[in-house]
């Protein structure tokens, strides 16, 4: 077969990047994630898999992003991006896991052969892959391994260098869009900044004073992208960038960034003397796909506006635009809806459900993205952790493009809606584009950050992680809201939840070797108590060391 012509190169690579005995990998919520120094063998094989994926998709470009996002600096990871900029088709995830876990060169070649046969992969179709990495120090070595994997099967490789995850997703989609002439990645990335910033400037053209926003860049790649964006934004918005130490790799996500703020529900220590009372600030995560807003009120108290608050603001704004543009009265009504996960604050779900359709799905942007596309004409989705975007279905897009406004007010709103679409990165959650969207929505809804925050108040909540021997011993149902395995544990959780008049659920993480426990209750101490009690029984169930029991 044609595979035989690659065999020598494949063997060389497989010998150079052996799988260490006892090491296992899993393609999880956001691809492979583990310590960066363990991933070279995985990257070599991901190169091969990405090439095969491209061949299966008629030679369309596939993306490979090397990042561990919000995870610690010494971690790294890799995920594949499908032709429209969406996450890898889920039916390929288990094959990615099989590839990574094949213990020897021979075992891998056997797995590869049978995979090619069963999937009927057209080996003679060319393959094209575009890849990028975040600022992690393990990145360059992993790129080398990836490149060798791509070269072993003669795939065409395009290096997008150090950039954010959402920019890589955007690139993949743009490269594959019919009519795109440009092939220079630098120019395409420039196109991204021009697109979102010029739409933003149009949307805020009437604003007389230039806006100001403090941005915590998590010492990651978002710092570089935000700096470029700042330049394109000109007078329209002045971004004050903090935590931009991308050269000190160990500082990445350390006591800063969106995950720190969301989990600890407090300002990064580095910002306490920087953020002024009344000023808006926001945090990106390590690869700039998550966004959390916040402010200090007059008394200096911290208020966080997470993904749920962003959903509320953005959904209200979009509903208003659709209405103001006269799109509500057209024949095929445009259905606007929201997708959340079990982590969504109970009060956000209550507030939203009273106003529009709400769907709950499992954690992971791929699930939210899919549901948003399936269920709604305009789907607004954000995870509570700040990861999300807005999707416009092809039919909504057509309705917007072909709509003939009957009044000048309709016409203004319609143009606004079109510019809003240009601000949004529809391929995946994008902290920088979402940030511009929030700024635009605040302006056009005439909301101060306080007014936005007052739309509903969060129920007190806590997120705790529990280290267990085997997180796969925990399985869930009902969009992760109930445990199926281990048996009997859910009943114990139900009992605690009843006592505390709250809500709690347990699920295995898809990015870290831990089990996560979420709890919310009417009062803060009840929420904390509930989270710790549930974490305690999870810990006991998993046979943890009593000395390290969460307390
Ligand atoms: C990734 C996924 C997110 C998910 C998060 C946490 O985020 O892209 O959709 O919410 O992991 O997942 P888990 O609780 O399963 O560990 P990121 O920002 O790390 O890519």
Backbone angles phi, psi at 374, to 5 degrees: -70, -45
Cα–Cα distance between 514 and 472 in angstroms, integer? 10
Alpha carbon dihedral 243, 245, 250, 252, in 10-degree steps, equals 40
- Long-range Cβ contacts of 109-112 (<8 Å, 24+ apart): 109/7, 109/10, 109/11, 109/14, 112/3, 112/10, 112/48
CA of 471 relative to ligand 1 center, distance in Å: 15
Ligand 1, closest atom to CA 509? 15
Q: Find out whether 220 is annotated in a ligand binding site.
A: no
Question: For atom 17 of ligand 1, which residue has the closest CA?
Answer: 69
Averages of pLDDT over runs of 10 residues in the chain (551 residues) are 87 97 93 97 98 98 98 97 97 97 97 96 96 98 98 98 98 96 95 98 87 96 98 95 96 98 97 95 98 96 98 98 89 89 98 97 96 97 98 96 95 97 98 98 96 97 92 95 96 95 95 93 96 95 76 71
pLDDT at 3: 85
Atom nearest to 511 CA in ligand 1: 16
Backbone angles phi, psi at 394, to 5 degrees: -55, -35
Extended beta strands in 280-331, E state: 280-284, 291-296, 302-305
Where do we find the tokens 């052996």? Answer: 18
Angle between helices 408-423 and 185-203 (to 10 degrees): 150
Phi and psi at residue 276, to the nearest 5°: -85, 155
User: Which tokens hold the place of 175?
Assistant: 């490269």
* pLDDT over 70 percentage in the chain: 100
pLDDT, position 547: 73
Q: Is 383 known as a binding-site position?
A: yes
Q: What is the pLDDT of residues 309-346, one digit of tens each?
A: 999 999 999 999 999 999 987 767 899 999 999 999 99
What pLDDT digit, counting tens, does each position of 132-166 carry? 999 999 999 999 999 999 999 999 999 999 999 99
pLDDT in tens, 188-235: 999 999 999 999 999 999 887 778 999 999 999 999 999 999 999 999
Active site residues: 69
Q: Is the CB of 147 under 6 A from ligand 1?
A: no
Spatial contact of 474 and 507, defined as CB atoms under 8 Å apart: yes
Nearest atom within ligand 1 for CA of residue 364: 9
Round to whole Å and give the CA distance between 130 and 81.
9
At which residue do the structure tokens 């954000």 appear? 382
135 lines ligand 1 (CB under 6 A): no
What spacing in Å lies between the alpha carbon of 255 and ligand 1's midpoint? 18
Task: Give the pLDDT confidence of 14-57 residue by residue, as tens digits.
Answer: 999 999 999 999 999 899 999 999 999 999 999 999 999 999 99
Q: Residue length, the chain?
A: 551
- Taking the centre of ligand 1 as the mean of its atom positions, its distance from the CA of residue 385, in whole angstroms, is 8
pLDDT score at 379: 98
Give the model's pLDDT for residue 482.
Answer: 97
Q: What DSSP line would sit under 494-509, residue for residue?
A: HHHHHHHT-EEEEEE-
Largest CA distance in the chain: 72
Nearest CA to 434 out of 442, 425, 443 is that of 425
Q: Is the CB of 511 under 6 A from ligand 1?
A: yes
Per-residue pLDDT, 1: 57
Q: Is 516 in the pocket of ligand 1 (CB under 6 A)?
A: yes
pLDDT given at position 27:
96
User: What pTM does this model have?
Assistant: 0.96
Output the pLDDT for position 495: 96
Indicate if ligand 1 lies below 6 Å from the C-beta of 341. no
């Amino acid at each position: 077969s044609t595979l035989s012509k690659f065999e020598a190169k494949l063997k060389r690579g497989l010998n150079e990047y052996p799988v260490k005995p006892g090491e296992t990998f899993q393609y999880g919520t956001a691809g492979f994630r583990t310590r960066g120094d363990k991933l070279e063998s995985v990257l070599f094989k991901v190169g091969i898999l990405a090439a095969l994926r491209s061949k299966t998709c008629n030679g369309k470009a596939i993306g490979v992003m090397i990042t561990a996002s919000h995870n610690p600096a010494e971690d790294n990871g890799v995920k594949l991006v499908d032709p429209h900029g969406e996450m890898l088709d889920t039916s390929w995830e288990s094959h990615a896991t099989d590839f990574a876990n094949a213990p020897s060169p021979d075992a891998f070649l056997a797995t590869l052969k049978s995979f090619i046969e069963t999937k009927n992969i057209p080996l003679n179709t060319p393959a094209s892959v575009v890849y990028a990495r975040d600022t992690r120090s393990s990145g360059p070595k992993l790129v080398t391994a990836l490149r060798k994997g791509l070269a072993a099967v003669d795939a065409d490789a395009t290096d997008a260098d150090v950039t954010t995850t959402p920019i890589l997703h955007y690139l993949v989609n743009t490269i594959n869009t019919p009519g795109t002439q440009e092939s220079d990645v630098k120019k395409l990335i420039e196109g991204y900044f021009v697109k979102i910033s010029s739409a933003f400037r149009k949307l805020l053209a009437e604003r007389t004073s230039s806006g100001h926003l403090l941005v915590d860049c998590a010492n990651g790649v978002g710092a570089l992208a935000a700096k470029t964006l700042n330049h394109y934004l000109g007078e329209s918005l002045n971004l004050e960038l903090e935590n931009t130490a991308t050269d000190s790799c160990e500082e990445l996500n350390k006591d800063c960034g969106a995950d720190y703020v969301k989990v600890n529900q407090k300002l990064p220590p580095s910002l306490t003397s920087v953020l002024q009372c009344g000023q808006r600030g926001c945090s990106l995560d390590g690869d700039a796909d998550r966004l959390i807003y916040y402010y200090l009120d007059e008394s200096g108290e911290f208020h966080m506006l997470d993904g749920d608050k962003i959903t509320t603001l953005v959904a209200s704004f979009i509903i208003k635009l659709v209405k103001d543009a006269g799109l509500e009265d057209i024949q095929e009504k445009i259905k606007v809806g929201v997708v959340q996960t079990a982590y969504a604050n109970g009060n956000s779900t209550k507030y939203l459900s009273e106003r529009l359709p709400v769907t709950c799905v499992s954690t992971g942007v791929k699930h939210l993205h899919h549901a948003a596309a399936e269920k709604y004409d305009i789907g607004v989705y954000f995870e509570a952790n700040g990861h999300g975007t807005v999707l416009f279905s092809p039919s909504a897009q057509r309705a917007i493009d072909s709509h003939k406004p009957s009044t000048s007010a309709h016409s203004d709103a319609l143009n606004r809606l079109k510019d809003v679409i240009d601000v949004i990165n529809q391929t995946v959650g994008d902290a920088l584009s979402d940030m511009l969207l929030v700024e635009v929505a605040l302006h056009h809804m005439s909301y101060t950050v306080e007014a936005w925050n007052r739309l509903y108040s969060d129920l007190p909540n806590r997120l705790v992680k529990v280290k267990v021997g085997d997180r796969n011993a925990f399985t869930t149902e009902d969009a992760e809201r109930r445990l199926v395995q281990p048996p009997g544990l859910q009943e114990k959780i139900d009992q605690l939840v009843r006592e505390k008049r709250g809500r709690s659920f347990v699920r295995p993480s898809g990015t870290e070797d831990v089990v996560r426990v979420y709890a919310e209750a009417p009062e803060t101490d009840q929420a904390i108590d509930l989270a710790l009690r549930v974490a305690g029984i999870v810990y006991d169930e998993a046979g943890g060391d009593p000395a390290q029991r969460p307390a």
